[in-house]
Amino acid sequence: MRTKFFILVLILFFNESTFSQQKDRTHDFFFNEFSLTTNKWVYSSTLNPFGAGMGVNLARYIELNDLFDLTVGVSYDLSRQLRNGIILNHFQSYSNVDISIHRLNSFFSSRVKFGNKRNFFFEAGVFCGVYLKSSFTTNGNKNPKEFSTKSLDFGSKFNLGYTIPLKRFELVLKTGCHYGFRDIGNAPVILFDRYFAISVGVQKLHSYGKQ
């Protein structure tokens, strides 16, 4: 399922590049920025702070002027957190727990570019997330056990990035944080969606006047 989703994302992203070979092309595909991310949770009781997660992002990058840009998009994210233990109810408790959470996000952000060639940028924005599936495993049992979370979350995101111009694309490197405001766990589990992330992506140069 994830492989099919990833292939679909690539086909959609490069759809505009294929059509750009046609002289009579009158439209662009909506998304013009694609990136992959890896992330780690921020939580005080983690056994290992590097519980690796991943994500796939599709965005519409809009260049307003030489200093400011806007970005709107969607993403699929898998977050993992290693915790000392969780208590689900009076009869179920587990230790050494690896939690996995799958979600879809929509986001909106603005970028401020700086530096001699405007290659550096600071990005700030907001997101709204829909949670698809949550599960966990333990050291003694690697078979995933599902557990419920709240369905929606919202919060802010901040990134510091750098762009590297290529022939028809820009390579976009970013690092930053994703900060969920809502406790998405169901009592007695307390769970916040907060992590640091690093992403590598490509952005089309010929969108909105970038040639």
Residue with tokens 């590598």: 200
How many other C-beta atoms are found inside a 10 Å radius of the C-beta of residue 147? 19
pLDDT at 10 over 80: no
DSSP, collapsed to helix, strand or coil, labels residue 103 as strand
The domains of the chain are located at 2-18+32-209
* Digit-coded pLDDT (tens) for 174-183: 999 999 998 8
pLDDT at 4: 47
- Is 211 or 168 the better-scoring residue by pLDDT? 168
pLDDT at 65: 87
- The CA distance from 88 to 201, in Å, is 39
Task: Report the percentage of the chain scoring pLDDT > 90.
Answer: 36
Q: How confident is the model at residue 117 (pLDDT cuts 50, 70, 90)?
A: confident
Name the β-bridge partners of 123. Answer: 111, 159
pLDDT at 168: 83
Exposure string for 179-193, b = 16+ CB within 10 A, e = fewer = ebeeebbeeebebbb
- Considering the four listed CATH numbers 2.40.160.20, 3.40.50.261, 2.50.20.10, 3.40.30.10, the one that applies to the domain covering 2-18+32-209 is 2.40.160.20
Element (H, E) at 7: helix 2-19
